[in-house]
Amino acid sequence: MRITLFAVGRLKAGPEKDLAGRYLERFSKTGPASGLELKRVIEVPESRASGADTRKREEAAELERALPEGALLVLLDERGKALDSEAFAAQVGQWRDQGKRDLVIAIGGADGLDPALHARADLVLNLGRLTWPHQIVRILIAEQLYRAVTILSGHPYHRA
């Protein structure tokens, strides 16, 4: 299964970008043996519209254009479902085993994600009830993708 990470906002050079890149590189190296590959990371600029609803709609349109046909969509949102790492890995593994070809994980902008995306999403996931800066969310989901591969392959990285 090919996994795309979609993010509203760009990571500037620095320790956050380096750490996210380190986990994505680990995922890229270990994922194919488990049937998971990093297809790409898509970064789009935040909308400059004056209202939050318009910004969210414009950012959602960018995401819709990037979605491969038939792709699964996971949204990261503080109001989403809380999963532990093993349950997240199991969900990704289940989709892979069902023959799903593409999975897109979306990180929204400062205003969040458009309600139309929530209606279309296969899973709305939270990374805790706290609000996280975009840079940290990128690191957290990159690490969880790597952790999911290690769980699915029985690698000792994950210790429950």
* Residues flagged as binding site for S-adenosyl-L-methionine: 76, 108, 127-132
Positions at the binding site:
76, 108, 127-132
Q: DSSP assignment of 92-154, as one string?
A: HHHHHHTT--EEEEEE-BTTB--HHHHHH-SEEEES-SS---HHHHHHHHHHHHHHHHHHHHT
**What is the SS3 assignment for 43?**
strand
Query: Do 135 and 18 contact (CB within 8 A), yes or no?
Result: no
What is the chain's Cα-based Rg? 15
